[in-house]
Amino acid sequence: MKAELEVKHKDLLARVGTLHVGGKKVETPAFVPVINPVSQVVPPEEMRRKFRCGIVITNAYILFKRFRSRAVEEGVHRIIGFDGVVMTDSGGYQVLVYGDVEASPDDIAFFQEAIGSDIAVPLDRPTGLVGRREAEKTVEETLANVRRTVELVGHDGRCVWVGPIQGGLYWDLVQKCVEEYKRLGFSLYCLGSPTPLMTAYRYRELVSMITTTRQVLGTVKPLHLFGAGHPMMFGLAVALGVDMFDSASYALFAKEGRYILPEGTVRLEQLSYLPCSCEVCTRFSAKELRELESGERFRNLALHNLSVCFQEVEAIKQAIWEGRLYEMLERKARSHPAVYEAFQQIITDEETLKTMAQHTPISKRRGLFLFDATSLQRPEYRRMVEWVKRWSPSCVEAAVLVSHRAVTNKKPEKLFDQVAQVVGDGCFEVFVHDTPYGLVPLSLYHVFPISQTTYPETLVKQLEDRIFREAAETLSKHGFKKIIIIETKRETYPGYSRKLAHSLQTRLHRQIIYTTSK
């Protein structure tokens, strides 16, 4: 059986879609809670009821060790009490923690088929944070196990088998895994070994691992991220093309008395108030939650943590639908220095930015917000700047430069009448001169996203030197015979138009006609 992803909305490398697994469907991006088959602090059916959870993951190796015959007889869905999509991990994480498992690749492969897993993982060996030689061993062992699993069960059985990508920080090993799995015909891929990076707040390296995977894998096949950890990283992962991510953090943090927020984690004893409106936080005060019996406190904290994780995914999907995921990442980047560093890694990676631009829609439901120089790396801005540079005039008699306020506050006929009075009977091209996009031809000004962009005046001031320099280059390249600047009553900031006129006169070594609008 193979998985198929039907994409509905895209932004950056993120997509809202429907993952088809057999006759079942899961909306992506999807948070996949880890279910302990022995002890369920929050049963998966309760997750479905309260959070519309459509997919969970549980550990095939634990089922194999504790419930082998019963699991085969009843199936994994009855064992954990969930009729949605059930993904089973192979037990590879146990290899990372304990060094080995008491099962062969054959055992794990046949067992997952027998218990009816919807999505199954071959027995892999996670790389973790190790030296080069050990990393090579983990990749070779994983690839050997995967080849053996494909040989035994193929892609026509009960399960959707995924390709577990190992290699850790060694990008060539990650690439080796992906290329081998593409050859073997996998329809779903999983990126392993992020947990040690997440635990150590090495988010920048995790970003590099995801971008390497996507560059080799391409942008079509669905990608799952093992052990994604904290919701403050969900947006970054999704923006890089991760469609699903599992985590046990909701329970692990709750067991330690840690309360998840979208921007971080706080110990319960550090809270005077509960800054959340989930069912737990509206039922208890911080003091009351602390004073609960340990088992009840654990369960309620886990419920709250789950709520935050699912809410974060809903916010991400809404941002993708609106086309404002980049803005969400800008806000989220300030949640922690490590997240900020990871975000900077993304916006300084030209290859990733180019790929994002190719998959970001040309028009969107809402306009853009630009805040500072960081915002100028978003694909829509970069793409439009290139379009403006490629524009050619139909007339070079005169270039008339006006403020965006003259364009938005006046009727077009009134603006052109005023320009004609200044220019005379000759032809002319009108440019809007005070936008973060630089000198914009009026014929392009209402093309998305230029006139649909909201920005502070301080951004234009920060970009002043670049705007003036590129304006001179544009006017010189096209060879306009006359350059006219019309000052408006309310400038972008005091003295802007005169500074522009002086700069153009100095750079072009020619007279600039300067006049005031009525």
User: Which residues are marked as active site?
Assistant: 89
Euclidean distance between CA atoms 362 and 9, whole angstroms: 12
Euclidean distance between CA atoms 276 and 291, whole angstroms: 18
Neighbours of 312 (CB within 10 A): 22
Are 12 and 359 a contacting pair, CB within 8 Å? yes
Euclidean distance between CA atoms 63 and 76, whole angstroms: 8
Neighbours of 147 (CB within 10 A): 14
Strands 482-487 and 513-516: parallel
User: What is the distance, to the nearest Å, from the Cα of residue 402 to the centroid of all Cα atoms in its chain?
Assistant: 38
> For the chain, what is the radius of gyration of the CA atoms?
28
DSSP character string of 155-190: TSSSSEE-EEE--TT-HHHHHHHHHHHHHHT-S-EE
Strands (E), 315-445: 368-369, 398-402, 429-435, 438-441
Query: H-type helices in 163-293, by residue range?
Result: 171-184, 195-199, 203-217, 234-239, 249-255, 279-283, 286-290
> What tokens does 19 get?
């993952």
Are 57 and 21 a contacting pair, CB within 8 Å? no
Local structure of residue 361 (DSSP, 8 states):
-
Strand partners, 5: 19
Euclidean distance between CA atoms 369 and 103, whole angstroms: 54
> What tokens does 358 get?
């190719």
> What tokens does 253 get?
């943090």
In 3D, which of 356, 445, 430, 366 has the Cα closest to residue 393?
430
Helix (H, G, I), strand (E, B) or coil at 245: strand
Number of H helices, E strands in the chain: 25, 21
Q: Residue for token digits 């060790």? A: 65
In 3D, which of 169, 309, 139 has the Cα closest to residue 238?
309
Euclidean distance between CA atoms 128 and 361, whole angstroms: 36
Length of the chain: 518
Euclidean distance between CA atoms 181 and 178, whole angstroms: 5
